[in-house]
Amino acid sequence: MGFARTLAAGALAGGLLPLAVATPASAAFVREDPDTRTVTFGFGGTARTCRLIATTRHEYPAAGVEGDALIRSSTSVADDPGCREPVYEVSLLGRYETAPDSGRFRTFFATSGVGESPRPGGVSVELTVPGPTGPLTVDHRVTVVCDGPSNPNLCSYTLQTSPK
């Protein structure tokens, strides 16, 4: 999809200047949306304060290859003292428009094993798709075992990233 505009040049000293072609700046981009949230919950009768980290990166063209877009997304729990033990599941669910203004969407996801041992620290996805794409949004979820009325109780925290 090349955009070109012809600029007309006037006569100078009885002759015409050559026509010049101007093109807009490249449509290439790298967009990243990081988010970190600090949450506090009870686990085994003690308060735990943990950082949840979500990042999504969107590049076009991917590795300089015209026609490919790269999507990278990750969700993790920081390795703060006592924060990995209560982790039950870490996941992400993303959605992107296949082309700008197309109205067609695709989804992708990643999830840790539920209650796996050792406790999951995070998940990530990297995919190359035809590009450029339209808007991209990812929901990042961390579920922990927490103190509550039922035993065990599960508490979920969600962060959302959307590189613009």
Nearest to 30 by CA among 2, 65, 67, 71: 71
Say how far apart CA 130 and CA 132 lie, in whole Å.
Answer: 7
The separation between CA 155 and the C-alpha centre of its own chain, rounded to angstroms, equals 23
* pLDDT on residue 114: 79
The separation between CA 12 and the C-alpha centre of its own chain, rounded to angstroms, equals 54
* pLDDT on residue 152: 72
* pLDDT on residue 149: 74
* pLDDT on residue 151: 63
51 close to 80: Cβ distance less than 8 angstroms: yes
Tell me if residue 103 falls in helix, strand or coil. Answer: coil
* pLDDT on residue 154: 93
* pLDDT on residue 65: 85
Q: Which domains does the chain have, with CATH numbers?
A: 27-161 (2.60.40)
| Residue 14 CB coordination number (10 Å) | 5
Instruction: Find the radius of gyration of the CA atoms of the chain.
Output: 24
Q: pLDDT digit of tens for each residue in the chain (164 aa)?
A: 332 222 222 333 343 333 333 333 347 899 999 999 999 999 999 999 999 999 999 999 998 888 999 999 999 999 899 999 999 999 999 999 999 999 999 999 999 977 677 777 899 999 999 999 999 999 999 999 999 877 679 999 999 999 97
| pTM for the predicted model, two decimal places | 0.79
* pLDDT on residue 6: 23
